[in-house]
Amino acid sequence: MKKTIIYIIMVIAFTACSDDFTDLAPVSNRNEANFYNTANDFIFGINASYRGLQSTDVYGRAYWTMFEMRGDNTDQGPDQTGLASQFTVLNTFTEDALNEQVDAAWRGSYKVIANCNVILSRIDAVDMDSSLKGRLIGEALFLRSLMYYNLAIAFGNIPLQLTPFIPGEQLTQVTAAEVYNQLVIDLKVAEGNLSQSYAASDAGRATKGAAATLLAKVYLTLGDKGNAETVLKRIMNTYNYSLLTNYSSLWGKANENNAESIFEVQYLSGGIGQGSAFSNDFSPNAFLQNGQGFGRNRPTSSMQNAYEANDNRFTTSMGTSWINATGGVTVANYVKKYFSNPPKENDSDINFVVFRYADVLLMLAEALGETPESYGYINTVRSRAGLPNINSSTSGTFAEKLLHERRVELAFENHRWADLKRFGVAKQKINIAEPFIPQTAVRELFFIPQREMDINKNFVQNNQ
C-alpha cells in the first residue's frame, strides 16, 4: 500500500472556534471528556494531527507561499487578481498583518499543535500497550515540533504552548531561540520513542529518522554545528536511507515513500477531501484535464539560471514552455515536481516531501564546514545530477557553493526561505533575483496576524 494511515473522515475535526485565541483550542465533534479513553481514541487523535498537515493552511498551500514564493525561487505567477493578490504582496514584501495566507499558516499550524497538546496531556493516564503509547507520544512531539519549527522560522517570537489552552489564559511570546531549545528536548524524546520504519499500511508515520532530521535542522538554525553533525551521522549510519539512482524517480505517485524519503505529507485522491491542490496551483492551464491550472509558485528567471548546464534535475523540477491551445508555444516557467492529472480539481494523489536524504547529506556538509569530507557529501548529490565534482578551488566561498547546491537540489520543497535566513543572505539574494524589491524592503519575519494582535494586547508586532 502506497499510503500512510488511511485518513478516513477523522473523529476529531479541525474547525474554527470562538473569538478567543482559538488556534490553541481544538474542537472535537465528540465531547473531549468522553474521548481519549482508549488506545484507539489516541490513534484517531494522532491521525487527525497528520490530517492537519494536508490542509491548505499548512503544507497544502500556505507554507509554499511563505517559504518558496517569499524567497527568490518563485513568484506569484501570471495572475495577480482575487486570491492571487494575496500571493503578489507576499512575494513583494508589501503585505500587511491582514494577509489571509499568513493568517492561515498561523491558524493551521496552531490547530495541529493544539491537537498534539491534548494527546500529550492525556495519554499517560490511559492504559495501553507501552510501545504503542511511546510511539504515539513520539508522533505527537514530532508533529508539534514540526509546526513550531515552521512558525519560528516565519514569525520569530511566538507563543510556545505545551499544554492544552485554557480559555482566558494569558499567552506570551517567547524568542525563536527558546522555541528551538524546546524542540531539541522534544525531538530527542521523539527520536527515542519512534520506530525506525513501519509496515506498508502505516507508511508515512513519523520515524526516528524524521525526528532526527528535524533535530539536526534545529541545531543548525541554533548555530550548533557539532551536535548537528552527531545527529546527521547517526541518520546516515543507522537509519538506512539512500539516494535514489535517478532524480526523476523521486517524483510522481508511483515513487512516493521511497528509500530516500524521510517524511512526506500524505495525500489521497478520490473525492474524500484529502487530495492535494499542487497540480492545479502550479500547472499551466493547458496541462490539466480536470479543473483549472493557475501557474502559481512560478519559478523565477534566477531559479532557472541557477541550474548548471547538463544538470538533470532541471527538466524534472521545472519547465519553461508548453504547446498552447492554438498549437503555438507559450514561454513561461512552471513547477513540474508535483504534476499529475487529478480526477477532479484540487484532488491530486501527489504527496509533499518534507524531508529526504539528500537534505541530510547537504546539512552534514554544512555542519562540517569546508573539508574534503564535506565536499564528498556535496559531490555525492551532484554526481546523481550528472555534474562534475567541486572542491575548495572551485569558484566561490564554501557557503555560496553549498547554498547553491541546496537551492537546485531542494527547489520547491519549502527549504529556501529558512536557508536564506540561516546563511544570512535573504536581503541580498532576493534583490538579485527580483531587483524591483530593494534590500531595505526585505523583512525576515512575517507580520503576526492582526487578529492575534487584537486578542493578545501584550504581543509585540514584527517590523523587520
Domain boundaries, the chain: 22-240+417-455
Q: Rounded to a whole number, what is the distance in angstroms from the first to the last CA of the chain? A: 46
CB 243 within 8 A of CB 44: no
pLDDT of residue 10: 33
At 13, the pLDDT band (50, 70, 90 cuts) reads very low
C-alpha to C-alpha distance for 73 and 70, rounded to whole angstroms: 8
- C-alpha cell read off for 252: 510522481
Q: Are 182 and 161 in contact (CB under 8 A)?
A: no
Residue 295 confidence (pLDDT) above 80: yes
* Per-residue pLDDT band at 169 (split at 50, 70, 90): confident
| Triad 48, 106, 433: Cα angle to 5° | 120
> To the nearest whole number, what is the mean pLDDT of the chain?
91
CA angle 13, 105, 52 (to 5 degrees): 25
DSSP assignment letter at 126: S
pLDDT for 385 equals: 98
Whole-number pLDDT of residue 28: 35
Asked whether residue 29 carries a pLDDT value surpassing 50, the answer given is: no
What is the total residue count of the chain? 464
Segment 71-78 shows an average pLDDT of: 93
Using alpha carbons, list the distances in angstroms from residue 151 to 10, 28, 112, 267.
25, 24, 12, 22
Within 19-130, strands assigned E span: 74-75
Contact 296, 309 (CB under 8 A): no
**Whole-angstrom distance, CA of residue 295 vs CA of residue 285:** 7
Rounded average pLDDT over 146-165: 97
Beta strands in 255-387 (DSSP E): 261-265, 298-299, 318-323, 329-335, 352-356
105 close to 62: Cβ distance less than 8 angstroms: yes
Helix runs in 161-288, H state only: 176-193, 208-222, 225-238, 278-282
Looking at residue 78, what is its pLDDT? 85
Type of residue at 46: I
Per-residue pLDDT tens digits for 100-117: 999 999 999 999 999 999
Cβ within 8 Å of residue 328, ≥6 positions away: none
- Among 3-7, 123-127, 206-210, where is mean pLDDT lowest? 3-7
Domain 22-240+417-455 has CATH 3.20.20.370: no
- Give strand ranges (E) for 219-317: 261-265, 298-299
**pLDDT score recorded for residue 32:** 57
Cβ distance 278 to 61 under 8 Å?
A: no
Cβ atoms of residues 331 and 102 within 8 Å? no
Would you state the torsion angle of the CA atoms of residues 246, 251, 253, 254, taken in this order, to the nearest 10 degrees? 10
Residue 189's nearest CA partner among 130, 135, 116, 238 is 135
- Predicted local confidence at residue 12, as pLDDT: 36
Cell numbers for 219, please give them: 541545531
Residue with the bigger pLDDT between 203 and 460: it is 460
Q: Look at residues 13, 17, 19, 10 and name the one whose alpha carbon lies nearest to residue 452.
A: 19
Mean pLDDT, residues 281-289 taken together: 83
pLDDT at 7 over 50: no
* Separation CA 181–CA 178 (nearest Å): 5
Nearest to 396 by CA among 412, 421, 375: 375
For the segment 342-385, what is each residue's pLDDT rounded down to a tens digit? 989 999 999 999 999 999 999 999 999 999 999 999 999 999 99
Average confidence (pLDDT) over 247-257: 95
User: In the structure, what pLDDT confidence band is assigned to residue 200 with cuts at 50, 70 and 90?
Assistant: confident
Q: Report helix angle 208-222 to 176-193, nearest 10.
A: 160
pLDDT of residue 319: 95
